[in-house]
Amino acid sequence: MQLTLIGIGTGNPEHLTLQAIRAINAQDLILIPQKGEGKADLAELRWTICEEVLSNTATTIVGFDLPVRDQNIPDYRVRVDAWHDAIAVAWQTAISAYPAAVKVALLVWGDPSLYDSTLRIASRLEPVPELEVIPGITSLQALTAAHAIPINEIGAPYLMTTGRRLRSEGWPKGVDTLAVMLDGECAFQTLDPDGLHIWWGAYVGMPEQIICEGALAEVSAHVIKTRAEARWAHGWIMDIYILRRTS
């Protein structure tokens, strides 16, 4: 079996590359994860993408339920590893129902290599399939495009991190620009806002896109309120932000 992981950007069909469209049409089976109540529109976006670009009538599209992460496991890494093991079992079960499928694909938000565990989960399948990875537009690219800014200062590095690490470890040494992903608790609240600028976005690249930027001290409360309202309205949220020291 060949497993193709297709980066689909942020859910906007216009983010698909020609390579991604060709890959979608080359599959025998496409698996679409369904994450339960409040997440139906994420699955629906994947179905919509297939409806728009899939012309191969021989391709089968199948939805399957993803397991829920067990929050009762106290250690973060152990909790995530157990969750990934369970997802691999869900993939294996869904694929085994179609033994004739030689080419199987999953549509991956953003890019399969950027803060995404699809490749790690694929390595848990037995036997390990032949892998093909189709790169996609990332949320970081969509964010910088939405704000029309470069990610880095001239000749300067930037660091990509998670909200959990920013909250527990503070501002990393040696960089003035941070790109922060996977932050469900607005970790920027734990920082001294003086001299910090934020470029924030949710649902970037999608019709629901919301963006905000400004001095962190001035817009922090607005971002927190906007994020909470958007999450309540949609039942889910994907957001990302850039922080930069300006003084």
DSSP class per residue in 154-205: TT---EEEEHHHHHHH-SPTT-SEEEEES-TT-GGGGS--TTEEEEEEESTT
Q: Are residues 117 and 163 in the same domain?
A: no
CA torsion, points 88, 90, 94, 100, in degrees to nearest 10? 20
The 239-245 sheet, strands edge to edge: 159-162, 177-181, 239-245, 196-202, 210-215
Mean pLDDT by 10 residues, the chain (247 residues): 94 90 97 70 85 94 90 90 94 95 95 91 93 96 97 94 96 96 95 97 94 98 98 91 94
Write out the residue range of the structural domain in which residue 6 sits.
2-137
For every residue of 69-115, which 3-state class applies, written as one string? Answer: CCCCCCCHHHHHHHHHHHHHHHHHHHHHCCCCCCEEEEEECECCCCC
Final residue before a domain boundary, out of 89, 117, 137: 137
The pLDDT score that the predictor gives to residue 35 is: 66
Verify that 22 and 125 share a domain, yes or no: yes
Domain CATH for 66: 3.40.1010.10
Same-domain status, 129 and 170: no
Q: How far is CA 29 from the centre of its chain?
A: 22
Model confidence pLDDT, tens digit, residues 5-38 = 999 998 788 899 999 999 999 999 999 998 654 5
Q: Specify the pLDDT at position 37.
A: 47
Q: Quick one: 82 and 172 in the same domain?
A: no
Task: Count structural domains, the chain.
Answer: 2
Is the separation of the CB atoms in 66 and 100 below 8 Å? no
pLDDT (0 to 100) of residue 36: 52
Query: Which of 137, 156, 175 is the last residue before a domain boundary?
Result: 137
Is residue 19 domain-shared with residue 112, that is, in the same domain? yes
Q: Are residues 122 and 41 in the same domain?
A: yes
The CATH code of the domain that includes 180 is 3.30.950.10
H or E stretch covering 131: strand 130-134
> Which residues are CB-contacts of 165 (< 8 A; sequence separation ≥ 6)?
none
- Supply the pTM of this predicted model: 0.89
Strand partners, 107: 6
As given in the structure block, the two tokens for residue 177 are 């620009």
Identify whether residues 122 and 234 lie together within a single domain.
no
Q: Phi and psi for 241 in degrees, rounded to 5?
A: -150, 160
End-to-end CA distance of the chain: give it in Å, rounded.
54
Q: Which domain-ending residue is among 108, 137, 166?
A: 137
| Residues 127 and 7 placed together within one structural domain of the fold | yes
Collapsed DSSP state (helix, strand, coil) of residue 38? coil
